[in-house]
Amino acid sequence: MKRMSLIFRSKANKALDRAEDPRETLDYSYQRQLELLSKVRRGVADVATSRKRVELQVNQLQQQSAKLQGQAEKAIAAGREDLAREALTRKSGLTTQINDLKAQHANLQGEEEKLVLAQQRLQAKVEAFRTRKETIKANYTAAEAQTRIGEAMSGIGEEMGDVGLAIQRAEDKTAQMQARAGAIDELIASGALDDASQLNAGDDIARELDALSSTQDVEAELARLKAGSQPEAIESADDGGDILRAEPETSTVEGEQGGRA
């Protein structure tokens, strides 16, 4: 049971510690001190009021005592000793009251002076506490802001680390693509790797050149055959008309040459 109570108190204390704001606690303490100072001021005012009331009573009794003294003197002058004695008796009672009130007035005045001194000391402490409170609050606020900035910078640092890795990967991929493009350009320049359009264009030109060469070969062969057949025709004419026989043979030869072509 004691262990459970200890655990509960420790957890409650930890939760309260997290929820507590020192600035609010300081403001509450300052407010309490102001309330105490206000009570002391009211106490000083009450004592001063009582002292003033006693002073008024003393003044009234002194006036009555002076009046009785005058009445006693008049009674003696009038030969009324009994009236004079009565007046003096009343005056004696008033004198006792006046002395008691003066003693009470002195006590109240001393109490008032003590309360005024206590008020001044308490007010000085309250002012000092207020100054210290504001200083502590300012330092706490600055520390809290610095902590938030530090946490934010820490988060930014981690984020920038991830961004740095992403940038590094992007740069590596870019370098790989550039290297690959350079290698392909070198292969194309060396002729080891041509694109389909260039290969097709080369085949068309080659075919045209081959066709032109074949045509030239045919024409050259035809010209050679023609040149070779002319002396034979002349000789046949000299022999008396074998040109017609020679021409079919020439045609046959040309047909065979054309077939071979």
Q: Is the pLDDT of residue 141 over 50?
A: yes
How many Cα atoms occupy the beta-carbon half-sphere of 119 within 13 Å? Answer: 16
Residue 121: what residue type? R
* Long-range pairs, 216-220, Cβ under 8 A, ≥24: 217/261, 218/261
3-state secondary structure the chain: CHHHHHHHHHHHHHHHHHHCCHHHHHHHHHHHHHHHHHHHHHHHHHHHHHHHHHHHHHHHHHHHHHHHHHHHHHHHHCCCHHHHHHHHHHHHHHHHHHHHHHHHHHHHHHHHHHHHHHHHHHHHHHHHHHHHHHHHHHHHHHHHHHHHHHHHHHHHHHHHHHHHHHHHHHHHHHHHHHHHHHHHHHHHHHCCCCCHHHHHHHHHHHHHHHHHHHHHHHHHHHHHHHHHHHHHHHHHHHCCCCHHHHHHHHHHHHHHHHHHC
What's the confidence (pLDDT) of residue 209?
67
At residue 80, φ and ψ (nearest 5 deg) are: -105, 85
Q: Is the pLDDT of residue 256 over 70?
A: no
Distance CA 118, CA 42 (A): 12
Of all residues in the chain, what percent carry a pLDDT higher than 90? 20
Q: Is the pLDDT of residue 249 over 50?
A: no
Q: Is the pLDDT of residue 240 over 70?
A: no
Q: Is the pLDDT of residue 124 over 90?
A: yes
What's the confidence (pLDDT) of residue 259?
43
Most confident of 24-28, 155-159, 229-233, 245-249: 24-28
